[in-house]
Amino acid sequence: MPNNSSQRAITTGSPLAPARETRVNIQQLNGIALRGLLPMFDKDAQLFCYKLIRDGSAMRREGISPRYTAMTLLGLHQLETADVPLPFNMQAIVDTLIKQSEWVDNIGDIGLLLWLCAVTFPDRLETIVNQFGVKQVLGGLRERNTMELAWFLAGLAHHALAPSGRLSNLTDQAIETFHLLRKNQGESGIFGHVGRNHSIAGVIRGRIGSFADQIYPIYALVKASQAYPIENAAERALDCALTICQAQGSNGQWWWHYDSCTGRVVGRYPVYSVHQHGMGPMGLLALGEALKSDFDPWIYKGLQWVNGDNELDQDMRDAETSVIWRCIQCKDYQRYLHTAYAVLMRREDAASHPSLYPLHECRPYELGWLLYSFGDRGLQ
């Protein structure tokens, strides 16, 4: 794969870079996230819910999600580093995740647990390594799911970077995971959703990747480059980052689906708020710090979409309920038709979509990733 980083530089003055804006109050967003997480916590289960949805004039909590809980705790820990007192017992929640481990059903979940323990309670790391057979788990891998591989690689990297005593050496597992993840990346830098196989579904899913399939590998590859002797890991992250930055919408949108063969956007909607305020910044801030490069123009343009500089001119923050609404979307059948047409015709998805509307729900991991990106900046 050609190294695009030698051809496209990330600097504020680059033609690729949008104008820098600073009309985003990060501390205010952090405050919304912390307040919004309070009604999402199930005290009896000691876990965060699956989602909070608007039901008439009230908000209703649905389900519980250990996976979302792990992501949320990563963000809360970042807020804690800014000396913000937390209304949650972090240790008790982590204990619940480890003891009630039937929710762990793929290598991605194991990676999230490693990642979480490495940054919160590193003394639990070897428990995770032994309990889930981390040294052997890749042997039974059937599907090269990009997102799960990225979570696992991020967990391995944080395990290696953890400020702890004697830990298992997981270098071989990290290098193998890197190679599996690399096979899912196209020449444009874009990752497909899974490894390709010869079925029709396998070809399509191996070719098309979501924004999550791009940003989690960016973050994981950066951390792996800092933790292990893996050549070109950061450069591969940069190749992907440059492609999605070049594709960013005029209102700062991080689009939903990309073609790993061409690098084109093949599905614009939904545009998810968490990509704008949490996951996008998470990956680009880590990459920028590692490479001494400036991704702030793209990050802040994406954040302004949340503030109301978007297709609907609607502020996605809701002060009354302390949530950030999940996304702006169109009807499913329209979305699928647009994506299928773009892939078949090898074109970009249409720039405009009819019947866009906001989805009035919020999930705890969305606020968690916001805090993971910006929590160390504290509250207003």
Number of residues assigned to the chain: 380
Q: Which pLDDT score, from 0 to 100, does residue 16 have?
A: 54
CA distances from 204 to 199, 200, 333, 344, 377 (A): 9, 6, 18, 11, 41
Tokens of 246: 């070049």
Block residue for tokens 């297709």 = 311
The rounded distance, in Å, linking the Cα atoms of 111 and 117 is: 10
Per residue in 168-206, pLDDT (tens digit) is 999 999 999 999 999 999 999 999 999 876 555 665 778
Segment 216-224 shows an average pLDDT of 98
Give the pLDDT band (50/70/90) at residue 163. Answer: confident
Neighbours of 160 (CB within 10 A): 20
Half-sphere exposure of 286 (CA within 13 A, CB side): 25
Segment 353-362 shows an average pLDDT of 90
What is the torsion angle, in degrees rounded to the nearest 10, for the CA atoms of residue 188, residue 191, residue 195 and residue 197?
-50
The rounded distance, in Å, linking the Cα atoms of 330 and 297 is: 27
Percent of the chain with pLDDT over 90: 81
CATH fold of the domain at 7-377: Glycosyltransferase (1.50.10)
Helix (H, G, I), strand (E, B) or coil at 217: helix
The rounded distance, in Å, linking the Cα atoms of 335 and 120 is: 40
Of 123-127, 139-143, 256-260, the one with minimum mean pLDDT is 139-143
Task: Check whether 4 has a pLDDT greater than 50.
Answer: no
Block residue for tokens 């794969």 = 1
Q: Which pLDDT score, from 0 to 100, does residue 110 have?
A: 98
Percent of the chain with pLDDT over 70: 86
Segment 303-307 shows an average pLDDT of 97
Q: Which pLDDT score, from 0 to 100, does residue 369 have?
A: 99
The rounded distance, in Å, linking the Cα atoms of 87 and 272 is: 27
The answer to whether the bond into 122 is cis (omega within 30° of 0) is no
